[in-house]
Amino acid sequence: EAGVAQSPRYKIIEKRQSVAFWCNPISGHATLYWYQQILGQGPKLLIQFQNNGVVDDSQLPKDRFSAERLKGVDSTLKIQPAKLEDSAVYLCASSLSLSLNEAFFGQGTRLTVV
């Protein structure tokens, strides 16, 4: 079974630039999550989708971050404009449903804002 795929693996941008990350969840997984992991901290949920609808985006900085999952499969997370404090690893995860199913994580995208 293929795992959660993310790209790119690494990205370096200057502040005020924009950047987009892509995630393809495990086939058949209805729930998709984006987490932000700042160095030395645990992952923090940014947004959660159930199919193509947003379930929880309470911790997403909506003035600069956006995410979509238009067809209920793959998803993109965008930052525009980026700030230095956005430097982090962005993790995508998926699970079969909203209930207590195991969440499977991708390898993440490491973003460095300079």
Partner 1 sequence: GDSVTQMEGPVTLSEEAFLTINCTYTATGYPSLFWYVQYPGEGLQLLLKATKADDKGSNKGFEATYRKETTSFHLEKGSVQVSDSAVYFCALKIDGGNKLVFGAGTILRVKS
Q: Which positions lie near partner 1, rule CB under 8 A?
A: 3-4, 33, 40-45, 48, 55-56, 91, 93, 98, 100, 102-108
CB of 17 vs partner 1, minimal distance in Å: 26
Q: Which is nearer to partner 1, 10 or 17 (CB)?
A: 10
CB of 11 vs partner 1, minimal distance in Å: 17
Q: Which is nearer to partner 1, 66 or 107 (CB)?
A: 107
CB of 108 vs partner 1, minimal distance in Å: 6
Tell me how far the alpha carbon of residue 54 is from its chain's centroid. Answer: 13
3-state SS assignment for residue 19: strand
CB of 27 vs partner 1, minimal distance in Å: 17
Which parts of 38-105 are beta strand (E)? 44-50, 53-56, 65-68, 75-79, 88-95, 104-105
For residue 105, give the nearest of 15, 38, 37 by alpha carbon: 37
Tokens matching residue 34: 């984006």
Phi, psi of 107 (to 5 degrees): -75, -15
Q: Which is nearer to partner 1, 20 or 103 (CB)?
A: 103
Q: Which is nearer to partner 1, 106 or 111 (CB)?
A: 106
3-state SS assignment for residue 15: coil
